[in-house]
Structure 1
Amino acid sequence: MPALSVAIITHNEEANLARTLRSLPEGCEVVVVDSGSTDGTLTVASQYGARVIEQPWLGFAVQKNLALSECTGDWVLSLDADEELSPALRDEIVSLVQGQPLPGKPEAYFVPRKNFFLGRWIRFGGFYPDAKLRLFRKGVASFEPRPVHEVIRFDGASGKLQGALLHHAYPTLSGYLEHMNRYSTLGAEILQQKGKTSASAFDFIAHVFLAPAATFVWNYVFRSGFRDGREGLLLHLYHASYTSWKYAKAWEKAR
């Protein structure tokens, strides 16, 4: 049984997957659950020795939980295909999973994530350290069943690692806008299920205009997002727009 398993879901991730797999510790088990890639994703996965499971798309949380269930290691690391371990994080994980279990030692760990937008590390405006719970003992955690912004559910005491997880999420502006469009549609479905469809004129103005404007000012001005240059301006402008799109789409669906 391996000390560490790495769980990744993919769909047309040929451009990213090799970078992710190259950053992993030697000897770890890699489980890739693919939802019908039509590029070279499966070839890349096989070249790096990953065990590939082909599964039609079930939703983010369900797909990721399937990947977790296929892991056999004592510890599981959940990654996205556009993420990469820094050398410091890789060494830290190796040291942790190969160590002896101690009473009271955390069974799950948060890692700080560096988000890159148009090739620039976004350091300000609330985008760093962007801690994510990603490493945990097999069986103690899973993803909450939600259609978007899936998070890992863990009820015990957790720890924090120091090495950074590198997130190459948005190398192009068109890709980012496409991503936000898709996620705002999923977010609108959640709002509609909860009955939050901005039915009144006040709610509509508040959600579609005032809240996004306030979010932009808070993150770009008061949280120093302006220090990330033009990339920071674009990211905070369009990130704030996500809320507007989400509520506008929920209102449109409910009309």
Structure 2
Amino acid sequence: MMTDLTATVITFNEEDNIRDCLQSLQWVPHIVVVDSGSTDRTVEIAKEFTEHVYVTDWPGHIQQKNRAIDFAPTDWILSLDADERVTPELRREVQELLSSEPRSAGFSMPRLTWHLGRWIRHGGWYPDRKIRLFDRRKARWAGVNPHDHIELDGKASALAGEILHYSYRDLHQHIDRVDFFTSIAARENDVRGQRGHLFGMFFRAPWKFIRMYLFKKGWKDGFAGFILASIAAFSVFLKYACLWERRTLRRRGIDPDSMPRHHRGPEWRAPRRPPEVTEANL
């Protein structure tokens, strides 16, 4: 008997991506889209493909993805991001797999990313396996925002078909995302009481470059590999620098979450009135 399946996608201002994403999922019996208040045509486009479109608040990446699978009418889930596509090979593999009762509670697949005008196959960017097909009765999104992963009750089996990932439009968007996500990561680490920000800036950041470019053979992707390893090292540095900044502000009596932010992503909120400058906090 064919196992029923729902594809879930979370969105925020993804009008440039959502159509291609959902077109690659049209073979799935049910599609659920959970949007966090897009101001562009994302919701309008999503409704062309499914009636199961929900507009909600933004509780965080992990919480929103769990909300999406809770909205699903089936237990088996195929979870995709808006900038991802299912290849025909992966589609056929999943359909064949679900033609009977699946042998595992979850399945991973390689993810191939297009960036800087080429497919990135080294530096830790590939195969970049992700568990995206799973039984929600035995799986849940977990991790530390914004870095989510599936926590599975059991061992995942491997599929050969790929997910195609169009993560960044250009370098400008890549840097903007680094800025955005390092701020989220710094806040999460601050709440958890993580220490070692100086060690992170001085040692973890350069090690990230060495590991990606040399040990994971990022150099095989040409100059693109060098650029990506450099950005990754800067991302690690910035994450720990933001953690240091938050704690420095708090020691001066300033709430770090009250400072103005330039981001307009789903985590952005209007800043509260900044504190007055006095001799005590100079």
Assess same fold via TM > 0.5. Answer: yes
Conserved in 2, the CA contact under 8 Å of 1:197 and 1:247? no
Counterpart CA distance in 1 for 2:109 and 2:28 is 21
1:253 maps to which of 214, 238, 246: 246
Shift of 1:233: 1.6
Shift of 1:128: 0.6
Conserved in 2, the CA contact under 8 Å of 1:9 and 1:32? yes
Q: If the length of structure 2 is used for normalisation, what is the TM-score?
A: 0.83
Aligned residue in 1 for 2:204:
211
Q: Output one character per residue of 1:11-33: Cα deviation in whole Å (capped at 9) or x when no partner.
A: 01110011111112525200000
Shift of 1:211: 1.8
Which stretch shows the higher mean deviation, 120-129 or 21-30? 21-30
Conserved in 1, the CA contact under 8 Å of 2:3 and 2:101? no
Aligned residue in 1 for 2:12:
11
Shift of 1:147: 2.3
Aligned residues: 247
Over 3 Å counting, the alpha-carbon distance change for 1:92 and 1:24 in structure 2 is: same
1:151 maps to which of 149, 152, 170: 149
Q: Output one character per residue of 1:80-130: Cα deviation in whole Å (capped at 9) or x when no partner.
A: 0000011100111111112x226xx11210111112223321101111100
In the alignment, structure 1 residue 238 sits paired with structure 2 residue 231: yes
SS at 1:47 equivalent: coil
SS at 1:170 equivalent: coil
Counterpart CA distance in 2 for 1:84 and 1:32 is 15
SS at 1:179 equivalent: helix
Counterpart CA distance in 2 for 1:220 and 1:153 is 29
Query: Sequence identity of aligned pairs in percent?
Result: 36
Counterpart CA distance in 2 for 1:30 and 1:212 is 40
Amino acid at match of 1:173: L
Aligned residue in 2 for 1:168:
166
Counterpart CA distance in 2 for 1:120 and 1:160 is 25
Aligned residue in 2 for 1:101:
101
Over 3 Å counting, the alpha-carbon distance change for 1:140 and 1:208 in structure 2 is: same
Aligned residue in 1 for 2:108:
110
Over 3 Å counting, the alpha-carbon distance change for 1:194 and 1:138 in structure 2 is: closer
- 4+ residue runs over 4 A deviation: none
SS at 1:153 equivalent: strand
SS at 1:144 equivalent: strand
Conserved in 2, the CA contact under 8 Å of 1:25 and 1:90? no
Q: Which runs of 5+ in 1 are unaligned?
A: none
Counterpart CA distance in 1 for 2:30 and 2:72 is 8
Matches within 5 A, 1:166-205: 166-198=164-196, 204=198
Counterpart CA distance in 1 for 2:3 and 2:31 is 10
In the alignment, structure 1 residue 39 sits paired with structure 2 residue 47: no
Aligned residue in 1 for 2:120:
122
Counterpart CA distance in 1 for 2:27 and 2:194 is 48
Conserved in 1, the CA contact under 8 Å of 2:141 and 2:148? yes
Over 3 Å counting, the alpha-carbon distance change for 1:50 and 1:6 in structure 2 is: farther
The structure with the largest alpha-carbon Rg is 2
SS at 1:37 equivalent: coil
SS at 1:136 equivalent: strand
SS at 1:14 equivalent: coil
Shift of 1:143: 0.8
SS at 2:223 equivalent: helix
Please, what is the CA RMSD of the aligned residues? 1.8
